Structure 1
Amino acid sequence: MVQVLGDSIVVSATDLVGYLACDHLATLELGRAQGLWERPPRREDPELVLLQERGVEHELAYLERHRAAGRSIHEVQLRGPTTLEELRAAEAETLDAMRRGVEVVYQATFFDGRWRGHADFLLRTDRPSDLGAWSYDVADTKLARGVKAGALLQVCVYADRLTTLQGVPPERLVIVTGDGVEHPERLADYAAFYRTVKARFEARVFGDLPAPDTYPDPVDHCRVCAWFPTCMDRRRADDHLSLVAGMTRTYTERLIDDGVPTLADLGELPADRAVPRMNPRPLRRIRDQARLQLSGRRAGALLYELVPPDPEAPGHGLAALPEPSALDLFFDIEADPWALDDGLEYLLGVAWRDGNGTHEYRPIWGHDRRGEKAAFEAFIDLVIDRLERDPQMHVYHYAGYESGAIKRLMQRHATREDEVDRLLRGQVLVDLYQVVRQGIRASVESYSIKSIEKFYMPVRAGPITEAGFSVVEYERWLRDRDTAHLRDLAEYNRDDCVSTLLLRDWLEVRRRDAIIDQGWSMPRPTTTVAEPSESLTVCTRGGPAGGCSRRPVGTDRGGGGALAPGGAARLASPRREAGLVGVLPPAQSLDRGPRRRDCRTGRARVRRRGRTVGPVDRPPLPLRSSPGLEDPRR
């Protein structure tokens, strides 16, 4: 955080990353350093504590790898609050270790009078510098499974000062991700970006210009920010547009530019009022949402209303509800993203209603990779057994995590491909989040299941009430093996499954209201009885030689279902036992050339000598419409 040490303002690499994530954060930190206000009390968030603990463990594990390899290590001792003298002494200690040619410098400290930095590791390389026949690269450990812009910006700060100390820039910036993989990146690829962000930040902190008028717009960084309570209080006091469910930053800016700055203003906006640069359809949607939230606020009650069927999107909203079956299942997964090397889906929970109307629940546990595979197979077998008995049954879940996890587990364990293909082609999985967002409007700020279930079940009272806390509870079980943690997790998962069941029932009543009271046509979706595709059968059971070729997962261009027309065949392996992924006839295979592009950011990553470097800025890839894909916010 921004500090005032003596008469100097001192900033850190963390401050620069925070500025990149949230412009308002720099305003808050600078004001605190100048004594204009106090930082809010520390939030007691068990998930953040867990992340910190996991981060330290990851860092120490990487240190142990170097120690086990017999490399010489020097640890710079600098803990707690520091003074200018202590920072200078810590940098001198770091430089001394570098001059001695220590192979690994742990907790290397840099300080140039304005900027302080604490690199996790400096790694010696055989490249000459002012130090001698060697120089150092920077390495930093991060829990994330991929390299993020903030992590690269942070190590650029270290590399900047390191260049001054050793006379040459480091050749590599190494990010060690949570799976233990080292990701070397070239400093030259990010130097211009770093210089631009740093110059803007320094102008804010050290410049003579008046401080800009920033606002605490919600961003991803909010969930880990110490200032979140302060910013949330400000937004509520201002009745900010971000309180409208489904609001986006772009819509907020356009509405404010047109003189509509609050939720109340938007809720009272005349139906015939246009807003420049906003299409009528999304404007109508968020205006109606704000209107209902405003009505609920004034009435002091939870309100909902039915959304009329969209003639341009038949079969959506309440019309997407299939005919209920006595064999329907209600599904929810608990996962730990930090377990093992790539996360663990440790609990697959299923609920149903028995012949007497009683809610039944089955937890299917998997505490390691073998157990995860067995749990996945048990769940798929349960679904297929019921599907064989009643082809009209469905598996209900809320939001996209469960359907994505099914595909991911099928790929990871190379098992039950035919069965998953059948479920996807037959549209057996029903996402009730889509039904709610397209068929119901509610006076809530979020359409999470915890918000929607207030309409049909009492407030939860178990020991776990938030998804993030379930991760903490499972991590506690991993450490002490107290079965009480598993009981609490099963209770929480059962509540989620039963909530999904009760939501389906509540939506069925709303569907009946729409038909009887509103006179709306709500035909049931037709049930598709699907068998595995011929391409899947041929490729996975040993078809003609040359009849299949592998293809990168995620390049499917088809519509008409989750993975159609290729279904799970696109994810299946020509040799399941080998765990290979991706099949396509040779005529349809794609030559991707030497570049790979992130379709979310449009940033190309270039292959050089067998490794990926970059990213390089390129225009984003155009979004292509595809049959069967609709905006869930419509």
Structure 2
Amino acid sequence: MYLLDENTLVTSASDLKLASECEFAFLRMLDYRLGRIDAAPTDDDPMLLKAGELGGVRELAQLAQYREQYGDRVIEIAHPEPRDRDTLRIAASSTLEALQSGAPVVFQGTFFDETEPNRPFIGYADFIVLRPDGRYRVQDTKLARSSKPYMQDQLALYHEQLERLGVPVDDIVEILLGDGTSVEHDIADLRAGLVKRRDRMRELVAEHLAEAGPVEWGDDRYTADRRCVHCVPEAEAVNDVTLVANLLGAQRLKLRAVGIRTVADLAAAIQQPAGGGIPARTYAKLQNQARLQHAAAQHPESLPPLEVVDPALIAALPPHDPGDLFFDFEGDPMSSEGSGDTIEWDLDYLWGVIDVEEQFTPFWAHTLEEEKAALLDFLELVESRLTAYPSMHVYHYASHEITHLKKIAARHDVGEGRVAALIEGGLFVDLLKTVRGALQIGLRSYSLKKIEPLYMGDELRSDDGVTTAVGSVEEYWKAREAMDAGNAAEAQTILDRIADYNRYDCVSTLRLRNWLKSLPEPVSIRPAAPDYSTSGHGVDA
């Protein structure tokens, strides 16, 4: 979205995607374009940036296939200057001429629809491909491995543009996925959804242009996804109730409807106000979570307060066993191998395991074949240890490890039965389930890193080296670049840093298990009674 001139707002498929996901974010971007706010945040997530880079590679690989098939009959439309109306019109005209000439493939076909002069639409179709029946099919390349609504909207928009231009167009649109497969959609199945979402976007624009100021956080006319780079700073600035751990979007709306707008509001409202509509048990848990978080915010120098709310879940943890293991994966979702219609994505490059003596065993995998070997080595380690210690368990944090073990065994068609037997036999213990079910902690997030101050003592993570899962992947990208450049020593130094991070995660899982088992029953660890006078909204308890 951008202003072509002071009266002309240009929108695209990406704007429709944003408006469909988070109306608040869409309007903030509109405010930025209108000059109503000085700056708009950008999402610098390395994964998104890498996906964009690889998406371009995927697109060019498909272009190379078409050029091999059709040679110089593939017509590429030069990308126009987006803020120059004349060059936009020229590119759109060149696209139409290429299609009317019967070009077998048009790459980056440009659409510039001025049907509404002050609200033109711009779009760039990856591929417009001539079918044997003389009709053109719109294709778009995506890095994703499945079709999503925003992709379907994009293709439906481009299909609509071809119809507007009078170009014979196929009833099928096609998404060329990142794994080499494709998904076809009948345009008749996409039109209703497109019209609904586009009408809503147009309504948002018209309504906002009629108003003078920027959109305000908490305006209940608009949806907010609560997690994007636009929403989080605004929610934090007002201590929005959405910051309560595990609170759902629908629950936020119900609370706001009865005057509970902040964490402090909910912390003070011991009894749910009439009309809240949240089941009593659920409300009590959310209210207690808010009280703990509010107390933690008033005593930031202290450890976060916690309560054991279901000691039976801790008691249900298996007894300590000298054969116990503690397990953590590191994986790169952007890694791929293969070509054509046999592209495999997502490499788990490090399988880290420690025992109760904190001895670390890493299984590295830099290719899919090595990943298969790592799976077999891991199974051999676990099964041999199970023979020696029949009462042992493998502890991990969150469902990632189990999900990936199943996926890797299925991908390589090896060890599926062995993995299933271990899982079904109760060998694996997910400590996140125990933490979420047994404890309430005065934290917005129950991630392993966030709860470590409760049990890691003087061995908290430093800010040096690798400190996050995303950081691990970024470092792995650097290591692979060093390997490819023949810099083995540099690559090993980076891999060692990743291994240190992974080992710490495994040690943290061990210490968490020990700490949970050591908690008295019941326990309530709180700082001084919180002061609710700073809630900012009057809510009767």
Question: Does the alignment pair 1:445 with 2:444?
Answer: yes
| 1:244-393 paired onto structure 2 within 5 Å | 244-271=244-271, 276-300=276-300, 301-309=302-310, 317-340=313-336, 341-354=344-357, 359-393=358-392
Distance (whole Å) between structure 2 residues aligned to residue 162 and residue 306 of structure 1: 61
Aligned to 2:506: 497
Q: Secondary structure at the match of 1:108?
A: strand
Distance 1:432 1:399 in 2: 7
The correspondence for 1:478, drawn from 469, 477, 480, is: 480
CA gap 1:508/1:146 in 2 versus in 1, 3 angstroms? same
Gap regions ≥5 residues in structure 1: 128-133, 223-227, 519-634
Q: Which has the higher helix share?
A: 2
| 2:417 pairs with 1:411 | no
Secondary structure at 1:146 match in 2: coil
| Deviation, structure 1 residue 264 | 0.2
Which sections of structure 2, spanning at least 5 residues, go unmatched? 115-119, 337-343, 484-490, 525-541
Pairing 1:50-129 to 2, within 5 Å after superposition: 50-71=50-71, 72-78=73-79, 81-113=82-114, 114-127=120-133
Task: Report what 1:191 is aligned to.
Answer: 191
Query: 2: distance between equivalents of 1:366 and 1:248?
Result: 38
Q: In structure 1, give the amino acid aligned to 2:308.
A: V
* Distance of aligned partners of 1:216 and 1:469 in 2 relative to their CA distance in 1, 3 Å threshold: farther
- CA contact under 8 A between 2:25 and 2:224: conserved in structure 1? no
Deviation of 1:207 after TM superposition, in Å, equals: 6.0
From the superposition, tell whether residues 55 and 418 of structure 1 become closer, same or farther in structure 2 (CA, over 3 Å): closer
Structure 1 residue 117: Cα displacement: 0.6
- Correspondence for 1:428: 427
Summarize the Cα distance change of 1:249–1:261 in structure 2 as closer, same or farther, 3 Å threshold.
Answer: same
Listed as ranges, the matches of 1:211-222 within 5 Å are 213=219, 214=221, 217-219=224-226, 222=228
Following the alignment from structure 2 to structure 1, what is the Cα–Cα distance between the partners of residues 409 and 262? Answer: 46
Q: Structure 2 counterpart of 1:99, which letter? A: Q
Write the letter of the residue equivalent to 1:283. Answer: Y
The alpha carbon displacement at 1:11 in A equals 0.9
The match for 1:469 among 468, 471, 477 is 471
Instruction: Report percent identity of matched pairs.
Output: 33
Alpha-carbon displacement from aligned partner over 1:418-447 (angstroms, at most 9, x marks no partner): 432331232110000011011111111011
Q: Which moved more, 1:340-349 or 1:1-10?
A: 1-10
Q: Deviations over 1:560-588 (max 9, x none)?
A: xxxxxxxxxxxxxxxxxxxxxxxxxxxxx
For residues 158-195 of structure 1, what are the alpha-carbon distances to aligned partners after superposition, in whole Å with 9 as ceiling and x for unaligned?
11111111344432211111112121211111011111
Q: CA deviation at 1:304?
A: 3.1
| Between 452-461 and 390-399, the greater mean CA deviation after superposition | 452-461
Whether the aligned pair in 2 keeps the contact of 1:218 and 1:242 (CA below 8 Å) is no
Given that 2:226 and 2:232 are in contact with CA atoms closer than 8 Å, whether structure 1 keeps it comes out as: no
Letter in 1 for 2:40: P
The answer to whether the 8 Å contact 1:217/1:242 transfers is no
Corresponding residue SS for 1:197? helix
Alpha-carbon distance between aligned partners in 2 of 1:91 and 1:180, rounded to the nearest angstrom: 29
- Quick check: 42-51 or 287-296, which moved more? 42-51
Q: Which has the higher contact order (CA 8 A, sep 6+)?
A: 2
| Change in 2 beyond 3 A, CA 1:261/1:381 | same
> Structure 2 vs 1, CA of residues 44 and 272 (structure 1 numbering), >3 Å: closer, same or farther?
closer
Q: 1:290 to 1:80 in 2, by over 3 A?
A: farther
The alpha-carbon deviation at position 288 of structure 1 amounts to 0.5
Map of 1:135 onto structure 2: 135
Which one-letter code corresponds to 2:434 in the other structure?
V
Task: Give distance in 1, aligned partners of 2:455 and 2:81.
Answer: 50
Give the conservation status (yes or no) of the 8 Å contact 1:462–1:488.
no
Q: How does 1:38-53 map to 2 (within 5 A)?
A: 38-40=38-40, 42=42, 44-53=44-53
For the 8 Å contact 2:347–2:371, the answer to whether it is kept is yes
Distance 1:206 1:174 in 2: 32
1:504-543 pair list within 5 angstroms: 504-510=513-519, 513-514=520-521
Aligned residue-pair number: 493
Counterpart of 2:521 in 1: which secondary structure?
helix
Compute the displacement of 1:78 (Å): 1.4
3-state DSSP of counterpart to 1:450? helix
Structure 2 match to 1:631: none
What is the CA distance between 1:275 and its match in structure 2? 5.2
Q: Secondary structure at the match of 1:339?
A: strand
Are the counterparts in 2 of residues 139 and 174 from structure 1 also a CA contact under 8 Å? yes
Deviations for 1:470-491, whole angstroms, at most 9, x for unmatched residues? 2233233333313333222212
The whole-number CA distance in structure 2 between the counterparts of 1:390 and 1:99 is 74
User: How far is the alpha carbon of 1:382 from its aligned partner?
Assistant: 0.7
Supply the distance in 2 between the matched residues of 1:308 and 1:12 (Cα, whole angstroms): 49
CA distance in 2, matches of 1:233, 1:273: 28
- The question of whether the paired residues in 1 share the 8 Å contact of 2:293 and 2:441 is answered with yes
Contact 2:326–2:395 (CA under 8 A) maintained in structure 1: yes
Q: Take 1:160 and 1:484, find their aligned partners in 2: how far apart are those partners?
A: 53
Q: Is the 8 A contact 1:47 1:469 kept in 2?
A: no
**Secondary structure in structure 1 of the residue aligned to 2:284:** helix
Q: Which moved more, 1:329-338 or 1:6-15?
A: 6-15
**Is the 2:100–2:167 Cα contact (8 Å) retained in structure 1?**
no
Aligned amino acid, residue 326 of structure 1 = P
3-state SS, counterpart of residue 361 of structure 2:
strand
Once the two structures are superposed, residues 378-437 of structure 1 have per-residue CA deviations (whole angstroms, 9 ceiling, x without a partner) of 111111111111111110000001011122222222323443233123211000001101
Q: Distance in 1 between matches of 2:231 and 2:454?
A: 29
SS at match of 2:75: strand
> What is the CA deviation profile of residues 93-149 of structure 1, one whole-angstrom value per residue up to 9, with x for unaligned ones?
11121122221111111011210111111111233xxxxxx3321111111110000
Taking only aligned residues, the RMSD between alpha carbons, in angstroms, comes to 2.2
Whole-Å Cα distance in 1 between the matches of residues 35 and 374 of structure 2?
Answer: 55
After TM superposition, the score normalised by the length of structure 2 is 0.86
Secondary structure at the counterpart of residue 343 of structure 1 = strand
Match of 1:242 in 2: 242
In structure 1, C-alpha distance between the alignment counterparts of 2:496 and 2:54, rounded to whole Å: 24
2:81–2:88 contact (8 Å) kept in structure 1: no
Q: 1:139 to 1:394 in 2, by over 3 A?
A: same
More displaced 10-residue stretch of structure 1: 334-343 or 77-86: 77-86
Contact 2:326–2:355 under 8 Å retained in 1 = yes
> Which residue in 1 is equivalent to 2:11?
11
Alignment of 1:614-629 (within 5 A): none
SS of 1:338's equivalent in the other structure is: strand
In 2, the alpha carbon distance for the partners of 1:263 and 1:5 equals 43
Do the aligned partners of 2:13 and 2:123 also contact (CA within 8 Å) in 1? yes
Q: 2:433 corresponds to which letter in structure 1?
A: Q
> How far does the alpha carbon of each residue in 1:238-269 deviate from its partner, in whole angstroms, 9 at most, with x for none?
21111100010011011111111110010111
Structure-1-length-normalised TM-score: 0.74
* Structure 1 Cα separation of the partners of residues 198 and 153 of structure 2: 9
Q: Determine if contact 1:4/1:33 at 8 Å carries over to the other structure.
A: no
2:158 paired with 1:149? no
Amino acid paired to 1:319: A
